[in-house]
Amino acid sequence: MSRSWMEPPRIGDIVRLSGPGGMGRTFKRTHGVGIVTKIEKPHDRRIEYEVKWLKSEERMRFNEEDLIVVSDVDG
> Over the stretch 4-38, which tens digit does the pLDDT of each residue have?
557 899 999 999 988 766 766 777 788 889 999 99
Q: Mind listing the pLDDT tens digit for each residue in 45-75?
A: 999 999 999 998 899 999 999 999 998 877 6
* Cβ–Cβ under 8 Å, residues 32 and 14: no
Q: What pLDDT, on the 0 to 100 scale, is given for residue 74?
A: 74
Number of domains into which the chain is organized? 1
Q: What pLDDT, on the 0 to 100 scale, is given for residue 7?
A: 82
Examine residue 33 and state whether it is found in any structural domain, yes or no. yes
CA distance 14 to 32: 10
Examine residue 59 and state whether it is found in any structural domain, yes or no. yes
pTM for this entry? 0.81
> How many helices (H) and strands (E) in the chain?
1, 5
Examine residue 8 and state whether it is found in any structural domain, yes or no. no
Q: What pLDDT, on the 0 to 100 scale, is given for residue 30?
A: 80
